[in-house]
Amino acid sequence: MQGLVFNAHWLSYFDEAAMRFLESVGHSPAHPLDDFAASVVRAEIEWKGPAGLDDTIEIDVEPSRLGTSSFDLRYGVAVHGRAVCEATITYVSVDRTSKSSRPIPDAVRAALDGAG
């Protein structure tokens, strides 16, 4: 009703941007990197200004930290060149069978390291 993007939608936008980013470095459902799966364990968003419902939102994604079993992606969001928000989301590498954390696979680590 306010004509602005509802705050809860941002995590969906970041999820889509992360998927597209991972595709750009070689991980996609059709061509997975070492059977890689990741889950969100932390999300921090700082708003800088509004985004309207009809605005085209531009999201830049870059890896900002690589740990043993987790990594951070940093999101920079703009509308017509105007900063809207920044976010950092921490993901943990997950074994698809046991659902427990595991070290980031070498192929994924190399792809993330090369994208930064």
In a domain, 50, yes or no: yes
Tally the domains of the chain.
1
**Confidence tier at 97 by pLDDT (50, 70, 90):** confident
Asked, for residue 39, whether it belongs to a domain, the answer is yes
At 28-64, the pLDDT tens digits run 766 666 678 889 999 999 999 999 988 999 999 999 9
Q: Can you read off the two tokens belonging to residue 108?
A: 């994924």
Q: Which domain does 43 fall in, by range?
A: 9-115
Give me the CATH number covering residue 91: 3.10.129.10
Mean pLDDT of the chain: 90
Q: Which two tokens stand for residue 116?
A: 């930064």
Residue 2 lies in a domain: no
Entry pTM: 0.90
Within a domain: residue 3?
A: no
Query: How large is the average pLDDT for residues 53-79?
Result: 96
Question: How far apart, in whole angstroms, are the C-alpha atoms of residue 100 and residue 24?
Answer: 26
Average the pLDDT over 85-106 and give the result: 93
Burial (CB < 10 A; 0-12, 13-18, 19+), residue 97, is: exposed
